[in-house]
């Protein structure tokens, strides 16, 4: 699969690179970033995939989170896709930030006009993995996944729906029960139709209830997050995990909000958590 390098910047002894390619999943040109640590110059390294939140692109994480310093020290690659398909011919809702471009929700849309392009679940779990492992010095099959908000939801469902594909999963302020919040209901109804039983296949809480295979999970949410009460529902996921004897570490962080200030504070701990599982 052909990719085009558009940027390369040296950071912490490694390289932050950006690429475009024609996506077979999303039927448009897609952009993603990769950070390769210094260790990747001499051997293959494990990878952590980062999924960003509503309104973001790959640029938010790579410029705000401070993750490259830790990835360099730990010897892991970072794979950072966009949040949705892009382009003049890609459907959008210009008056909404929570539907359309920047809001792919990491599902495979089944409804028109979204279904032609909005196949972000397949893009993340299939196409992007193949691109990364074919084009970069990454150990095949040795990967973890993390993300923020909508991307935290995406990371959880990708891990819970694919037993054995990821060694670990973590999330910052994830949307834990989207079938029961306004963000999820709005996007799922548009992308997936009115049958709510189909929605459950893209809901971390419902996946745990339905027997998702256990793997190491770390979640951080801020107690001062403005979306905590009405959109995120980490308590629903915790209750489902308790009932299913599914061990997760859910940390409610006093004083932290929904921003990249929060992410940058704890990203080093998340990457160390993944590195431990990836090296085991």
Q: 221, 225, 270, 274: which is the annotated catalytic residue?
A: 225
**Residue 225: active-site member:** yes
Decide if 233 contacts 180 (C-beta within 8 A).
yes
Cα-Cα-Cα-Cα dihedral sign, residues 271, 151, 172, 206:
negative
Structural contact between residues 241 and 247, judged by C-beta atoms closer than 8 angstroms: yes
Given 25, 72, 84, 149, the catalytic residue: 149
As beta bridge partners, residue 20 has 4, 31
Question: Active-site residue 2, yes or no?
Answer: no
Rounded CA separation 75/47 (Å): 9
CB-CB contact of 168 with 277 (8 Å): yes
Task: Out of 153, 258, 270, 274, pick the active-site residue.
Answer: 258
How many whole angstroms separate alpha carbon 152 and alpha carbon 137?
26
Is 153 one of the catalytic residues?
no
Cα–Cα distance list, 98 to 31, 35, 121, 261 (Å): 20, 28, 17, 22
Task: Select from 82, 101, 81 the least CA-distant residue to 91.
Answer: 101
Helix (H) or strand (E) holding 10: strand 4-11
**Spatial separation of the C-alpha atoms in residues 56 and 63, rounded to whole Å:** 12
**Catalytic residue set:** 149, 225, 258
């Amino acid at each position: 699969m052909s990719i085009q390098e558009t940027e390369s910047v040296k950071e912490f002894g490694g390289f932050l690179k950006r690429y475009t390619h024609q996506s077979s999943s999303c039927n448009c040109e897609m952009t993603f970033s990769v950070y390769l640590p210094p260790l990747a110059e001499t051997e293959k390294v494990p990878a952590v995939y980062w999924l960003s939140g509503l309104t973001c692109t790959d640029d938010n994480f790579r410029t705000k989170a401070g993750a490259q310093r830790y990835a360099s020290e730990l010897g892991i690659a970072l794979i950072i896709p966009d949040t949705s398909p892009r382009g003049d011919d890609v459907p959008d809702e210009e008056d909404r930030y929570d539907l359309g471009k920047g809001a792919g929700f990491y599902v495979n849309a089944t409804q028109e006009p979204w279904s032609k392009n909005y196949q972000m679940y397949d893009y993340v779990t299939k196409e992007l993995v193949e691109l990364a492992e074919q084009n970069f010095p990454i150990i095949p099959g040795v990967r973890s996944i993390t993300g923020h908000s909508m991307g935290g939801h995406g990371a959880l469902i990708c891990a819970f729906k694919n037993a054995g594909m990821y060694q670990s999963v973590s999330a910052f302020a994830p949307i834990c029960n989207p079938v029961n919040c306004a963000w999820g209901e709005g996007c799922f109804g548009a992308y997936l139709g009115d049958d709510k039983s189909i929605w459950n296949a893209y809901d971390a809480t419902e996946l745990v209830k339905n027997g998702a295979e256990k793997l190491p999970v770390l979640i951080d949410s801020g107690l001062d997050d403005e979306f905590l009460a009405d959109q995120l529902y980490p308590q629903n996921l915790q209750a489902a995990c308790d009932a299913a004897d599914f061990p997760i570490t859910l940390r409610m962080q006093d004083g932290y909000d929904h921003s990249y200030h929060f992410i940058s504070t704890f990203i080093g701990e998340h990457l160390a958590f993944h590195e431990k599982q990836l090296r085991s």
